[in-house]
Structure 1
Amino acid sequence: MRLNYKVVDFHCDALSKMRLHPHMDFNTDKRLDVTAERMRQGSVMLQCFAIFLSGQLGSPTIEHILNQIDIYNTKVIPNGLTPIRYVEELEQWELSGAMGGLLSLEGADGLEGNLHYLQICFDLGVRCLGLTWNHANWAADGILEPRNGGFTLKGLQLVDLCHQLEMILDVSHLSHKGFWELVELSEKARRPFIASHSNAYAICNHVRNLHDDQIQAIIRLNGRIGVTFVPWFVHQGDAVSSSHLLKHIEHICALGGENIIMFGSDFDGIESHVSDLNHCGRYSDWVETLLKHYPEQLVRGWLYDNAVAFLRMWLPKNK
């Protein structure tokens, strides 16, 4: 008998793909890994939609951010999704049984160094901010920046404003120095952060994955780690399957992180997939795999409870 389960996925790039291909239909278009139909198929009750500004769009600007927010509001939400911005809306959504959507911004580049633009994004419903993509921007260095710098002065102001607004910060893609600077800032603010789509470096030594001390810092802060389905973050080699993901879960649990694990697939942000996790409708198969190895209570936590508990604690109230 299949477990009656619900899923939260903390990272997909459907908005960016739809921006580059305007004729895509979010409801059923099979060119998208995440669609309303596939969310229903995989019991994905809450999807975090990243605003990612592809280099194909040219220089990152606030206009490109606003364009993807418009796509979210006009092409995604009308397909039966409830937008979640405040903790009160989260609570109402949980009772409703409807699918939900959460907006994140992947990289501060398009804010153009203007902190007022962050306020605009917050007012329009963005609730998570990935500080960088892989490279340096005006706020901080990304993980592929050779100098491994931390935050700029304007970047420190950005973090402070995020804490004031109760914007959730995301360290996936952030440089190591930036990560540790944010740990210190988060401890002072008593506000944790997430890594929305990162795995364990000890299992797969890709630069985008988290080292053990980073995982332990997130555990200490009671943040969250979205175990991701990006094949080259999962396993070095061909024919990557969901069984390889279990090693990352096992490792994070061994460090004491069983209660901070969630999932951040990166669907629609990848060209190749884990063989048996190629779109969000396949979460049903992933659940069955997890239940073969772990107790139901842990599986429910990873799929849904851990992410929702974090949002319940750290989303802003509608003042």
Structure 2
Amino acid sequence: MEKKFDGTSAIVFLALMHSFLASDAVEVKPSINPAVVGGTVILSLSPSVTLKGGSWAVGESLILTWLGDQQAVFSGYSGRAFVNITTGALTLSSLTVADSGVYRVQSSDPQLTVNTSVTVVEPVSNVTVSVNQTDLTEFQSSADIKCSVSSGSSLSIIWMNHSSEVTANDRVQLTDGNFTLTIVNVTRYDSGPFRCYVLNPLSNGTSDPVHFIISYGPDNMALTVNGLNITSFQSGSNLTMLCSAESNPPAQLQWAFRGKLVNRTDTLLELCHVGENQSGPYSCLAFNNQTKAHNYITTHIVISNSGLDHQALNVLLVTLLILAGFTHTLEDVCDSLRP
């Protein structure tokens, strides 16, 4: 049996379809999103729709209802929420972070339900960092840095070491929502400067830098003779030995020859007109009074007789220098280490 739709049924069907299509096509557009704490946001329907009544809610909380030219505002929104009774646009002022959420407008004439999300953000202000101590010892101490802000919401935090971002690993821990940075067993490369960069969708801020003084060494010692990589020299040569060590604070140095201390405590040991009896091991000893660590390096010097009368040559050289007007000799700046 064939069913027929009368004219009334067709009109009702078309009206329902129009209402459905209108609701489906309507959007709620915030005037600003994210919105700032203390500011105002207007939630407008687009395209514009003429509503005879309805309600606004955020989450499960009703904000207001209206019918015709009458509206009722619920507790918590009195004095800061009102609706345009023609367009249904909601104006909400004196915003707080708690006003963030999903806003929903409902109407029965025409029938529609539309949602939109609004985020209310408090700007970032006064980003600072604090530390318990800044004097640390390599491989023995841990660095703890705490970041804080006077105000701000929806925060993201990035830690920077120089211009590089700090990320978590076996030695680096980020806790308290990334507000605390801990570096376990610091190394000499963890001296900083460290900064805390805080941002949200509205603003950002950066702390002042914090530096650590990290004591380390002595290590990576080096000992050169006359700037060369050789250790064999002819009798009568002048030798300048240079000792270096990576250390903070700078290491205290001490020289030794054949295991006996020499009265030299700086980076240079200078020997003039060396003889064969000055062959042997030369050592540079380093000590760091902060880390209480020590280290040393030894080189074996071989002095051989070339068969030339270097003493006679030196006498001739000194004579020529005196004749040329010079009054000092190489012996003035050299040490003579003879057993």
| Bigger-Rg structure (1/2) | 2
Tell me which protein shows more strand as a share of its residues.
2
Structure of greater relative contact order (alpha carbons < 8 Å, 6+ residues apart) = 1
Tell me which protein shows more helix as a share of its residues.
1
Q: Report the TM-score range of the alignment, normalised by the length of the smaller protein.
A: under 0.3
Q: TM-score, normalised by structure 2?
A: 0.18
Q: TM-score, normalised by structure 1?
A: 0.19
